[in-house]
Amino acid sequence: MECKDIREKLSAYLEGVSSSAEKVLVEKHLHSCPQCSTALADRKRAGELLKDLEEVEPPAWLTPKIMARVRAEEEPKRNLLHKLFFPLHIKIPLEALATVFIAVVAVYVFRAVEPEMKYAPYPAPAAPIVTREEAKKPPREPVKEILAPQSKAPLKEHPPAAPPAKLSPSAPLEGPPASKKSEPLAGRQEEERKVRERESIPLATAARDARGRKKPAATPMASEVASLKPRFIGFTVNVKDLKIAASEVEKFLGQLAARKIEKESTEGKEVLTADLKGQSVEEFSEKLKAVGEIKEKSLPLDISEENISIRVEIVSTP
């Protein structure tokens, strides 16, 4: 056998994996061939050198570094999961809390602004009503009478109080007592008007009530409500015969279904007061013209729908 063939079998021989026949063959050759014996020794030595290679120890940071990379790999997946499931454990309680908070704030804010919200729409239209009503009533009741009830229910009581202040003792229920001969002081009236104008905004609240009452005036209750606040018209009639004129006027009033007709006689002057329906005022005025020369002292803007207090002064002309 050639050395080349033997050397190919040396590894197997060294490992002890060659067949017994091969083993015998190799051993026989090795005895007679020093080169092949050397080759065998070299292989043995090479194998030993490989086996002698020491193991290296992994650095302490190796496992942590590997795991850091593994976890970094896992991070994006977890982030995705977090986005998907975040609501379950944090988002829902958070949203619930926010909802409760908003509800509480809403209730608090509503309560804080509630009064303004109720009355806010009214002041603008109500304010002119106050001033208009005042403008319509030049003769005013005494200041005391106005100021006193104002704090309670100003507009409910004032309008009826105003006209009969001087002459009508049978003023509507809540009206202030008629002060017979008290001529309103012009100065004080002016002052009082200013006060009321200043107060027109606070009065808005009360004006609302007034409006509330005014509206149903068109309903069947109208006359009753209207009787509470008649307007005032004053007439001065110059006649020759006081007595005849007075009785004529009284008759006219009776024909026109006037109520609360009262007659007051003074020297050279007859004064008649009565409550007349608005639509009859014009007729009454026409009839008066037949009695004598008349002067209209004042006329309300809208006389058709209200009871009007009529005051007729019959003065004899020489």
Pairing outcome for strands 307-316 and 269-277? antiparallel
Pairing outcome for strands 259-266 and 293-296? unpaired
Based on the shown chain and the rule CB under 8 A, indicate whether residue 317 belongs to the binding site for another protein.
Answer: no
Torsion-angle region of residue 316: left (phi > 0), alpha (psi -120 to 50) or beta?
beta
Based on the shown chain and the rule CB under 8 A, indicate whether residue 289 belongs to the binding site for another protein.
Answer: no
Whole-angstrom Cα distance, residue 299 to residue 295? 11
Whole-angstrom Cα distance, residue 174 to residue 157? 6
Name the minimum Å distance from CB 66 to another protein.
5
**Which one of the spans 58-66, 92-100, 193-201, 253-261 is the region binding another protein (CB under 8 A)?**
58-66
Residue of the chain from 24, 41, 112, 135 that contacts another protein (CB under 8 A): 41
Residue of the chain from 59, 187, 220, 318 that contacts another protein (CB under 8 A): 59
Q: Which residues in 72-111 contact another protein (CB under 8 A)?
A: 73-74
Whole-angstrom Cα distance, residue 176 to residue 162? 9
Residue of the chain from 4, 16, 34, 54 that contacts another protein (CB under 8 A): 54
Q: Are 253 and 261 in contact (CB under 8 A)?
A: yes
Q: Are 291 and 215 in contact (CB under 8 A)?
A: no
**Which one of the spans 45-53, 175-183, 205-213, 223-231 is the region binding another protein (CB under 8 A)?**
45-53
Residue of the chain from 67, 102, 147, 244 that contacts another protein (CB under 8 A): 67
Residue of the chain from 28, 31, 69, 118 that contacts another protein (CB under 8 A): 69
Q: Which is nearer to another protein, 12 or 217 (CB)?
A: 12
Q: Supply the Cα-derived Rg of the chain in whole angstroms.
A: 59
Whole-angstrom Cα distance, residue 52 to residue 131? 119
Q: By the criterion CB under 8 A, which residues form the site for another protein?
A: 7-8, 10-12, 17, 39, 41-43, 45-47, 49-59, 62-63, 65-67, 69-71, 73-74
